[in-house]
Chains A and B, each alone.
Chain A
Amino acid sequence: MSNRAEMTRRDILKSGAAVATLTLAPGVTLMAFGGSDAKAAAADAGKRWGLLIDANKCDSNCSDCVTACKTENGWGNDGGAHSTPETESAWIRKVTLKDKNTGREVSAPVMCQHCESPPCVDVCPTGASMQRVDGIVLVDKHICIGCRYCMMACPFKARSFVHSDVPEQSVNAPRGKGVVESCTLCVHRVDKGRIPACVEACENAGHSAILFGDLKDPESPISKALKQYPSIALRADLELDPGVRYQNL
């Protein structure tokens, strides 16, 4: 399925059921969500969405991108008596690094790298880990069985397993106990022509360290920036061709 015109009646009904379920019973069930089928309907094979993160522009004292992602997608408040930072979800995290040779310090956010050849998709037994035609890597929460093999396979620690009930969900991103989740590149915004929440928050904070755009369009700002300045991919040795690139790292 490559565009909205090809959505079947079943897909539309599923999407409707999704909205209805979330409205009527937030946090109670995920069973009726439209999920990735409906989302994938908006994917365009002619595009490949990506991010370019400039570590020089990223402020080590700022974590607005993380806060914005939490608010947008409703994670980070799972809490509970047994909760620890290690059991909490982390769709995006900030890291501050020091070059071992030069002592130079840099800061940058890390999230799902939306690889062209994603190991999480390769290893998933049911196909719940999936890649849209526009390169966005997602988890289909209908068919994720919670085996966590994708988390074993991800080189970036980008995925989280939901360890307890999720009382406060966001309508933007259905979540559920016992399944795996990660950055969706704010697919719900991208499909409406908007930019991801982290990118917007970084702009609003005055840093503009994260550039979002279509890597396949040579005229897009991200493609031009990549062409003009050196950049790297995390774990480039694995040749996964991530959609997220870093400058000045």
Chain B
Amino acid sequence: MERTIYRTIKATPGIWGMAALLAAFIAAAGLSVLLIEEEGHIITGMNNQIVWGLPHVFAIFLIVAASGVLNVASISSVFNKKAYKPMARFSALLAMTVLLGGLAVLVLDLGRPDRLIIAMTKYNFTSIFAWNMLLYNGFFAIVGFYLTVQMTKGLSHKVHKAAGVAAFTWRLILTTGTGSIFGWLVARPGYDAAIMAPLFIAMSFAFGLALFIVVTLTLFKLDGRIFGDKLMERMGSLLGVFAAAVLYFTIVQHLTAMYAQEHAGIERFILRDGGIYTTLFWLVQVVLGGVVPMALVFLRPSRQSTILASILVIIGGLAQLYVIVVGGQAYPLEIFPGYEVLEGFNEGMVNAYSPSIYELALGLGGVALALLAAGVGAKILRVLPTNLSDANYPD
């Protein structure tokens, strides 16, 4: 096997074009944020019933995916799979930029984003949100160190391994924290379940790998580098396993909830009567985002199958988070058990939500920020291998 050579990407017209496109999305997001700041959240589709909307779907998708993106590096340094080693540097870089994009969306959607310094300096340690802020900052520090270790010549295998194990452990804790944002909400029947933590970890494995495949392949294509078919197939089958894990935890989540009579209402809502949420759940999350990708990579393994499966897993993931975040709030809170509400304020009825263009722009801007930052990183740091040809890895 040849020694892996890392090179920065060239400033091709394709790369410039992509950067300009991403910058346009970021600008649109910036404009949306200014408008929301000026007018208030009144111009968004969010309200006092659906308090978290589309920006949170994008933000949580990116935060969950970020730790999954790091898996490629973990597979090489923690689990000693040599084929993944050349991708480890970019995996660490992309993990950080994807987290950055997610956090940007989360922060810019705050009612008072100007008070970010308060969130950084005043911690309420009974809040999983506050813990998450420490976990996010820690992720940047540990993964940044891990990337530095990988790019420093002459360090022993032991140092690599130690940094890799630390980063892998941290990412597991981080996603546990993200899942627990919902898992620890006792008031709402759609959440309040310990399985949210492992479910989110499985989701991060799948979304992160899918995102890594799409982004890396795009950069390789724009820069004219080779990404071997066999390696693509291999990553595709791993993605299939991760998609299966998400489906498994989703099934357990709903079966457990259905067994408890108190959760029968929300289950009927999501699985049968919820309109858009039911459609998103079955059609987009389960079929397009789970079953179809698995069928593609296991029944017809190929380069194209892996690419299509990756795109579908990303779409399914966004749908899954929409169902969890918005669907969980759309279902009414049961404040007066045993009573029918004759008059009240949005009591006992499904809460409506239609996202505004501003929320969509903010969410997509976060994605664009993550990708542009990764591209800039690959332009100035030697994180991408010159080729990922199958010839490098004889079976």
Contacts and interface: CB of A to CB of B under 8 A. Distances in A.
Question: What 8 A-B pairs are tightest by C-beta distance, nearest first?
Answer: A146-B111, A178-B111, A155-B187, A86-B47, A95-B344, A125-B129, A96-B343, A164-B40
Contact of B129 (A82, A83, A123, A249): A123
Given A97-B341, A126-B122, A162 B40 contact: yes
Contacts of B341: 95-98
A122 B48 contact: no
A165 B38 CA distance: 9
A149 B336 CA distance: 22
A84 interface: yes
Nearest to B329: A152
Q: Among B329, B338, B339, which residue has the most Cβ atoms of chain A within 10 A?
A: B339
Contacts of B115: 143-146
Contacts of B41: 87, 161, 163-164, 178
A179 B112 contact: yes
A204 B211 CA distance: 63
Contacts of B49: 86, 157
A125 B124 contact: yes
A126 B187 contact: no
A16 interface: no
Contacts of B186: 119, 153, 155, 238
A216 to B, nearest CB: 24
A21 B338 CA distance: 48
B42 A97 contact: no
Interface string B331-343: 0010110111111
Contact of B333 (A143, A155, A163): A155
A149 B52 CA distance: 9
Interface string A112-146: 00000001011111110000000000000001111
A132 to B, nearest CB: 16
Interface size class of B (residues with CB under 8 A): 35 or more
A102 B294 CA distance: 52
Interface size class of A (residues with CB under 8 A): 35 or more
Contact of A87 (B47, B113, B339): B47
A97 B48 contact: no
A6 B336 CA distance: 42
B259 interface: no
A153 B187 contact: yes
Nearest to A148: B51
B48 to A, nearest CB: 5
B110 to A, nearest CB: 5
B287 interface: no
Interface string B16-39: 000000000000000000000001
Contacts of B122: 126-127, 143
Contacts of B342: 96-98, 105
A60 interface: yes
A76 to B, nearest CB: 12
A86 B39 contact: no
Interface of B: 39-43, 47-49, 51-52, 110-113, 115-116, 118-119, 122-124, 126-130, 133, 181, 184-188, 329, 333, 335-336, 338-347, 351-352
Contact of A161 (B51, B129, B336, B344): B51
A223 to B, nearest CB: 25
A122 B345 contact: no
A110 interface: yes
Q: Among A95, A121, A155, which residue has the most Cβ atoms of chain B within 10 A?
A: A95
A147 interface: yes
B39 A147 contact: no
A184 interface: no
Nearest to B47: A86
Given A177-B40, A178-B40, A157 B112 contact: no
A235 B187 CA distance: 9
Contacts of B112: 144-146, 178-179
A90 B345 CA distance: 9
B236 to A, nearest CB: 37
Contacts of B118: 126, 143, 145
Q: Among A94, A126, A151, which residue has the most Cβ atoms of chain B within 10 A?
A: A126
Interface in A24-46: none
Contacts of A99: 338-340
